[in-house]
Structure 1
Amino acid sequence: MIKNFLRITLRSMMKNKMFIVINVFGMGIAIACCIVAYFNWEYDARFNAHHVNAPKIYRVSSVREFEKKSTLYGHAPLPLGAVIRQNIPDVDKTMRMWWSFSDFKVEDNIFRAGLAYADPELFDMFSFEFINGSPAALKDKSKVVLSDEMAIKLFGTTDAVGKMLTQVNGADTKEVEVGGVFRKQPANSSFRENAYMHFDNVYDDDKNMKENDWKNRDMLFVEIADPARVATVQKQLQTYTENNNKVREDFVIKEFVLDPFVGMANRDRSNDTWSRLWPSSPPAAVVSPVIMAVLILLIACFNMTNTAIAISSRRLKEIGIRKVMGSLRSQLIVQFLGETMFICFIALVLGLFMGEVLLDSWNALWEDIKLTSHYFDNPSFLLFLIGILFFTGLVAGSYPAFYISHFEPVSILKGKLKFGGTNYFTRVLLALQYSISLIAIIFAIAFYQNSNYQRDFDLGFNPNSVIIAYVSNQSEFETYRNAIQQNKDIRAVAGSQHSLFSSGYNDPIKYESQQKDVDILNVGDGYIAAMDLHITEGRDFIKDSENDKKEAVIVSERLVRDFGWDKAIGKEIVWMDTVKLYVVGVVKDVYTNGLWDEMEPMMMRYIGPDQYTHVVVNGPTDKLVDINKTMESSWKEVFPNRLYNGRFINEVTVEATTVNNNIVKIFAFLGVVAMLLSATGMFTLVSLNIIKKMKEIGIRKVLGASVSNITRIINTEFVVILVVASVLGSAASYFGVDALMGSIWKYYLPMTSVTVAVSVFLLFFVSAVVIGYKVLGAAKMNPVNTLRVE
């Protein structure tokens, strides 16, 4: 019986090759999209899953309550690690971590280090695979442990244990020995550093950091083997909040919490928790591909359903004869479902190959996400494929199988059964198909418009005209400034300790009874001019003014509004509970976080050259690339042993543009696929409708109906379907676009009426092109031939 079913299936497929190829190709693309969505979801779901001890590990985080809002900070006071190690026996292991901006030098070659400082327990708590050397090398302050990637970059081989390299940290250099080489962590890991050294090296990097200073912060992890003791340990930690609060009255900690390492990367991304570790993908980047892949799969299933009905209409006599010969309805259902399942299986195989292509394309879009396929070593993926096969087979084949198999053989063989055209079910399917297609198109156009909107968004200054380089002290600043000022294209050079889109700190300040958190920048002479900031009230800092260094501040308009000032000049602000500062100027609002997060109030303080660590360079936008090349050339002359660290500060806006453009590409691809599948479904239904109305069309033509009248008769119900789809798709997009954009950015361009109008026009235009030839052919058909056939 199975052999007979298979023979019938193959015979039916050969008779309908065009429909089968279209459906296999469409379903293959849909399955490929699902495969990419699965691996993207798995990448996020298995973030840090390779760490064997993950369930025992916790990050010690600080909870601060400010303005009736509790915020979790993923850091802890620096001395707390040593305190836990000495006083809390329930903690089995403790590990501190901090990051360095050092470079590595081997012979005359300099490389970015990607270096972090950590306690030796790093390799005991977390899972690292060592290729050469030993994890114990991290116990030696004079040794460095490298990733295989970094070892090959430095020495051309992973057999690097015992080799020497130079650590370059600003003007300081230090010879260190390679003590081990580990396999670099996977992309979905919180630890992506290329090198580690003993934590105590942090005090050589930053002379201002003191081991017992509770003002300093680091990342702190603990391992607790007995889960029953976690609550006890957290309770014991509260004893030490006072140590912090005595020296940081501006940053009072409500409590310390043990934040589980499992799921930490996901929570950090969702809650914007302060953390130097790599977070997982944003929720929108995980959920959106899954939703769209499912929608595309449904379109392909609906399309196959309509096609199956069209094909089955040609097999009515076969169904009638089989029923007369004794076939049961259940056997016919199995036959039709089996045929659909077989087609879906072919599409699944094709989808696996297409999935590889789409995976490469996906990885090309996102620099930090590298998805890898693994088909046969992952039981969950095999179950996923089996689930996809049965889902598509049942969704696409159930209605035709159950609907067609219930026909009575007498009606079929006597020719009384009229089968063809559309019905409520097929109309609903087509409306849903086009609704989904319209959603994808609207998303693509909306994100393209948003890209242009954000590109031209006024951030309060021009980020496209500034380059920042980093130096260690006043002497280096002056030497480098003198070297680059010879370039006539440079309009301004200024120094600072912090800068927009580079560095700064956030502290609370008080005005009378009000208290606000503000972003604080310490800047030098000419900084406001070099950054193209606009003073709207008051003045700039006075050069070399000791009074300005002690008590003058320039604030943003946002801070003025937050404190409710009518006139800001002269207002007294209290910082760190004792320092009195006075407003001397107000600058136009600056979006210190780009467009990603809420604009924060900002305050700038004046510093002297002895605190400069930033070289801020302003030049014409069209000549900035050439200026950067000149700066790099001058850097190599002035600092031959250090890697050039200059960067364009518009990286934040470039990232936003990249995200926008990538999303446009994704939805454009999905929109094209969805539209083609939907158009194929409409073509099928139009063909069936024409077949059903052949006699009516012929009679109308005999009675004098024009081509336009015949076209209207055929098209009317499909125009209604498109209108319904347009309403449904537009309504769903209105909420969907806002939800997706809002999950990515704080400031964006909502969907506009122009977006909907253009998308709906494309929907109708593509549909008209697809079915126009078929409809015009039917309208022009000779009625004599039509009626003779009838």
Structure 2
Amino acid sequence: MIRNYLLITWRSMMKNKMFIFINIFGLAIGIACCIVAYFNWEYDVMFDSHHVNAKNTYRISSVREFNNVTTLYGHAPGPLGEVIRHNISDVDKVVRINHSWSNFKVEDNLFPGQLGYADADLFNVFSFEFISGNPDELKDKSKVFLSDEMALKLFNTTDAVGKQLTQVVGTVLKEFQVGGVFKKQPSNSSFHWQAFMNFENYYDEARGLKEDDWKNHNTIFVHIKEPARVAVVSKQIQQYIENNNKVREDFQIKEYVLDPFEGMARRDSANETWSQTTSANNRAAVVAPGFMAVLVLLIACFNMTNTAIAISSRRLKEIGVRKVMGSLRSQLIAQFLGETFFICTIALLLGLFFGEVLLNAWNSLWVNMKLTSHYIDNPAFVIFIVCTLLVTALIAGSYPAFYISHFEPVSILKGKLKFGGTNVFTRALLALQYSISLLAIIFAIAFYQNSKYQRAFDIGFNPNNVIIAYVENGNEYETYKNTLLQNKDINLIAGSTHSLFSAGYNDPVKYESQQLEVDIIEVGDEYLKALDLKLIKGRDFQKDSETDKRESIIVSEKLVRSFGWDDPIGKEIKWMDTVKLFVVGVVKDVYTNGLWRENEPLMIRYTSKDKYTHVVVNMPSDKVKDVDKFMEASWKDVFPNRLYNGRVINEDMVEADTVNNNIVKMFGFLGAVALLLSATGLFTLVSLNIIKKMKEIGVRKVLGASIGNITRIINTEFVVILVIASLLGSTVSFLLVDALMGSIWKYYQSTTELTLIASVSIMFLISAIAIGYKVFSAASMNPVNTLRTE
């Protein structure tokens, strides 16, 4: 019997090759999207899951309250780690981590260090798979541990234990021996560093910083064997809050929190917690692909439902004969569901192939995230894919199976059954299909328009024609500057201790009874001109003015508004409770956080040349690449032992543009697939409707109806469906686009009327193309042929 069912199924498929191909292709794409969404979800859920001690590991985070706002910071004072190590017995391991800005040198070649300083227990607390070497030797200050990727870069081999390399720290060269090579951590790991040294080396790089300086904050992890003792440890570390608060008036801690390592990366992403470790993806980046994958699969299922009904209209005699011969309704239902399941199985196999293609495409969009497929060794995926297959088959095949199998054989065989056309269910399916398609189209167009909006967004200065390079001190600044002045394409060179989108700090300031937290940068002569900061009131700093260095500040409009000043010039504010500062100028608002987060008030101070650490170079926008090459060549001459570190400071804006473009590609692809499937569904229903109205069309033509009138009769129902889909899709899209953009950026352009009109127009145009020929053929056919067969 099963063989008979398979034979019938195969013959039915061969008679309807085009429809079956479209359905298999659509289902395969939908399943492939679900596969990508699954591995994207798994990437997020499995973040840091390879660390076997994760359940007993905690990060010491600092809770700060300022202006009644409580914020969690993923760091704590460095000395707290040593205090815990020596005084709290319930903590058996402590690991401090801090980042290095140094480079590596092997022979005459320089490489980015990607180095982290860590305590000796790093490899005991966290899981690193060693290829060679002894992880316990991290306690040796003279050893460096490399990832296999870093070892290949430096030595062209992973067999690097015992080899020598040089660390370049500013002007200082330090020799180290490779103590071990470990496999690079997966991209969904909190640890992005490619090399590690003993934490004591950190103080050699951070010159002038003492080990017992509570002003210095690090990432600190503790390992507690007994979960029952966590509350006790948490209580014990609170006594050291005062050590921080005595020396950090700008960063008063309310409490220390033992933040569980499990789920830490996802919480950091959701709360925008400052941390040196890698955060997981934004929640929208996890939810949105899954949401859209389910919608695309539903469209494919709805399309197959309509197609199955259309195909079944040609099998009425078969159904009638089988019922007369004694087939039960349950047997017919099982057959039709079995046929759907067979088609879905083929689509699943094709979907696995398409899934690999889409995974590669997805990975090409995101630099720091690499999804990897693993099927057989992953029971969770096997369960997921089997459930996807069953649910898809049930959704796509249930309605046709139950609907067709209830027909009476007498009506079928006597020819009294009039099968075809549309009903409430098929109309609803079509409306949902087009609503989902419209959703994807609107997303793609909205993000494309947002990318244009954000590219043109005025962030208060021009980031596209400024390159910043980092030096050790004022003497290096002068040496490098004199070399750069030989280039005639350079408009201006300025120096600073900090810069926008670079180094800076954040401190509270007071005006009378008001208190405000502000971003602070310290700059030198002509810095405002170099970055094209727009001075709207007051003056710039006076060259070599000791008064300006001591007490003058330039502030942003946001700071002026925050304090409610009408005339800001001359206003006095207090910094660190004792330092009096006076406003001499106001610049246009500067978006120090790019477009990602709320614009912060900015305070600019004047600094002396001996404190310069930034070389700020301004040039015409069309000369950036040429000047950058010149700066790199000059750097190699002036600082032969250091890697060139110049960068255009538009990175935040470029990243925002990249995110926009990638989302446009993603939703553009989904929209194209969804619209193709929806257009196919429309074609199917129009075909059914024409079959049902053949006699009516013939009679109307005999009575003188024009092709236009016939077209209107056929199309009216579907135009109404498309209008309903337009209203539904536009409303839902408007809300979802705003929610998604709002979860990514603070400043963006949400859906506009133009976006909605353009998207709906595309939908109607594709629909007209899909059914135009079919409708025109039906409206212009000879009525004699139709009426003669009746």
Residues in 2 aligned to 1:513 and 1:192: alpha-carbon distance in whole angstroms: 44
Question: What CA deviation, in whole Å up to 9, does each residue of 1:461-491 have, x standing for no partner?
Answer: 0000100000011111110000001111111
Question: What CA deviation, in whole Å up to 9, does each residue of 1:474-512 have, x standing for no partner?
Answer: 111110000001111111101111100111111111111
1:229-308 alignment runs, 5 A limit: 229-308=229-308
Structure 1 unaligned regions, length at least 5: none
Corresponding residue number in structure 2 for 1:764 = 764
Residues in 1 aligned to 2:366 and 2:539: alpha-carbon distance in whole angstroms: 44
Corresponding residue number in structure 1 for 2:582 = 582
Corresponding residue number in structure 1 for 2:152 = 152
Residues in 1 aligned to 2:385 and 2:767: alpha-carbon distance in whole angstroms: 33
Residue pair 1:313, 1:419 contacting (<8 A) in 2 also: yes
Residues in 2 aligned to 1:452 and 1:460: alpha-carbon distance in whole angstroms: 17
Question: What CA deviation, in whole Å up to 9, does each residue of 1:291-314 have, x standing for no partner?
Answer: 000000000000000001011111
Corresponding residue number in structure 2 for 1:482 = 482
- Deviation of residue 325 (structure 1)? 1.0
1:787 aligned to 2:787?
yes
- Deviation of residue 544 (structure 1)? 1.2
Corresponding residue number in structure 1 for 2:317 = 317
- Deviation of residue 789 (structure 1)? 2.0
Corresponding residue number in structure 2 for 1:707 = 707
Corresponding residue number in structure 1 for 2:621 = 621
1:186-265 alignment runs, 5 A limit: 186-265=186-265
Residue 688 of structure 1 aligns to a residue in which SS? helix
Residues in 2 aligned to 1:175 and 1:230: alpha-carbon distance in whole angstroms: 41
- Deviation of residue 770 (structure 1)? 0.6
- Deviation of residue 208 (structure 1)? 2.4
Letter in 1 for 2:480: Y
Corresponding residue number in structure 1 for 2:342 = 342
Residue pair 1:530, 1:617 contacting (<8 A) in 2 also: yes
1:642 aligned to 2:642?
yes
Residue 253 of structure 2 aligns to a residue in which SS? coil
- Deviation of residue 643 (structure 1)? 0.7
Corresponding residue number in structure 2 for 1:547 = 547
Corresponding residue number in structure 1 for 2:727 = 727
Question: Which TM-score applies when normalising by structure 1?
Answer: 0.99
Residues in 1 aligned to 2:430 and 2:206: alpha-carbon distance in whole angstroms: 66
1:652 aligned to 2:652?
yes
Corresponding residue number in structure 1 for 2:507 = 507
Corresponding residue number in structure 2 for 1:118 = 118
Residue 275 of structure 1 aligns to a residue in which SS? coil
Residue 447 of structure 2 aligns to a residue in which SS? helix
Residues in 2 aligned to 1:209 and 1:641: alpha-carbon distance in whole angstroms: 24
Residues in 1 aligned to 2:779 and 2:252: alpha-carbon distance in whole angstroms: 80
Percent identity of the aligned residues? 72
Question: Which TM-score applies when normalising by structure 2?
Answer: 0.99
Residues in 2 aligned to 1:403 and 1:694: alpha-carbon distance in whole angstroms: 23
- Deviation of residue 547 (structure 1)? 1.5
Residues in 1 aligned to 2:261 and 2:766: alpha-carbon distance in whole angstroms: 51
- Deviation of residue 5 (structure 1)? 1.4
Residues in 2 aligned to 1:141 and 1:78: alpha-carbon distance in whole angstroms: 18
Count of matched residue positions in the alignment of Structure 1 and Structure 2: 790
Letter in 1 for 2:687: S
Corresponding residue number in structure 1 for 2:537 = 537
Corresponding residue number in structure 2 for 1:525 = 525
1:394 aligned to 2:394?
yes
- Deviation of residue 579 (structure 1)? 1.3
Residue pair 1:137, 1:145 contacting (<8 A) in 2 also: no
- Deviation of residue 575 (structure 1)? 1.0
Residues in 2 aligned to 1:535 and 1:116: alpha-carbon distance in whole angstroms: 40
Corresponding residue number in structure 1 for 2:408 = 408
In terms of mean alpha carbon deviation, does 709-718 or 319-328 score higher?
Answer: 319-328
Residue 144 of structure 1 aligns to a residue in which SS? strand
Letter in 2 for 1:514: Q
Residue 586 of structure 2 aligns to a residue in which SS? strand
Question: What CA deviation, in whole Å up to 9, does each residue of 1:272-323 have, x standing for no partner?
Answer: 1011111111111110000000000000000000001011111111111111
Residues in 2 aligned to 1:498 and 1:310: alpha-carbon distance in whole angstroms: 69
Letter in 2 for 1:224: I
- Deviation of residue 92 (structure 1)? 1.4
Residue pair 1:438, 1:726 contacting (<8 A) in 2 also: yes
In terms of mean alpha carbon deviation, does 681-690 or 312-321 score higher?
Answer: 312-321
Residues in 2 aligned to 1:173 and 1:272: alpha-carbon distance in whole angstroms: 37
- Deviation of residue 16 (structure 1)? 1.1
Residue 128 of structure 1 aligns to a residue in which SS? coil
Corresponding residue number in structure 2 for 1:741 = 741
Residues in 2 aligned to 1:313 and 1:208: alpha-carbon distance in whole angstroms: 85
Letter in 1 for 2:473: N
Residues in 1 aligned to 2:255 and 2:772: alpha-carbon distance in whole angstroms: 70
Corresponding residue number in structure 2 for 1:610 = 610
1:409-448 alignment runs, 5 A limit: 409-448=409-448
Question: What CA deviation, in whole Å up to 9, does each residue of 1:36-59 have, x standing for no partner?
Answer: 111111111100010000011100
Residues in 1 aligned to 2:391 and 2:458: alpha-carbon distance in whole angstroms: 49
Question: What CA deviation, in whole Å up to 9, does each residue of 1:541-567 have, x standing for no partner?
Answer: 111111111111111010000001111
Letter in 2 for 1:164: Q
Residue pair 1:444, 1:665 contacting (<8 A) in 2 also: yes
Residues in 2 aligned to 1:469 and 1:210: alpha-carbon distance in whole angstroms: 27
- Deviation of residue 350 (structure 1)? 0.3
Residues in 2 aligned to 1:45 and 1:549: alpha-carbon distance in whole angstroms: 51
Structure 2 unaligned regions, length at least 5: none
Letter in 2 for 1:77: P
Corresponding residue number in structure 1 for 2:102 = 102
Residue 390 of structure 1 aligns to a residue in which SS? helix
Corresponding residue number in structure 2 for 1:678 = 678
Corresponding residue number in structure 1 for 2:691 = 691
Residue 654 of structure 1 aligns to a residue in which SS? helix
Corresponding residue number in structure 2 for 1:665 = 665
- Deviation of residue 573 (structure 1)? 1.2
Question: What CA deviation, in whole Å up to 9, does each residue of 1:330-358 have, x standing for no partner?
Answer: 11111000000100000000000011111
Question: What CA deviation, in whole Å up to 9, does each residue of 1:190-241 have, x standing for no partner?
Answer: 1121100000111100112111111110000001111111111111111010
Residues in 2 aligned to 1:241 and 1:578: alpha-carbon distance in whole angstroms: 23
Aligned-residue RMSD, C-alpha: 0.7
Residues in 1 aligned to 2:52 and 2:453: alpha-carbon distance in whole angstroms: 46
Residues in 1 aligned to 2:419 and 2:220: alpha-carbon distance in whole angstroms: 72
Residues in 2 aligned to 1:788 and 1:382: alpha-carbon distance in whole angstroms: 56
Residue 91 of structure 2 aligns to a residue in which SS? coil
Residues in 1 aligned to 2:569 and 2:84: alpha-carbon distance in whole angstroms: 48
Residue pair 1:78, 1:213 contacting (<8 A) in 2 also: yes
Residues in 2 aligned to 1:580 and 1:452: alpha-carbon distance in whole angstroms: 43
Letter in 2 for 1:370: K
Residue 79 of structure 1 aligns to a residue in which SS? helix
- Deviation of residue 117 (structure 1)? 0.1
- Deviation of residue 611 (structure 1)? 1.0
Residue pair 1:250, 1:577 contacting (<8 A) in 2 also: no
- Deviation of residue 250 (structure 1)? 2.1
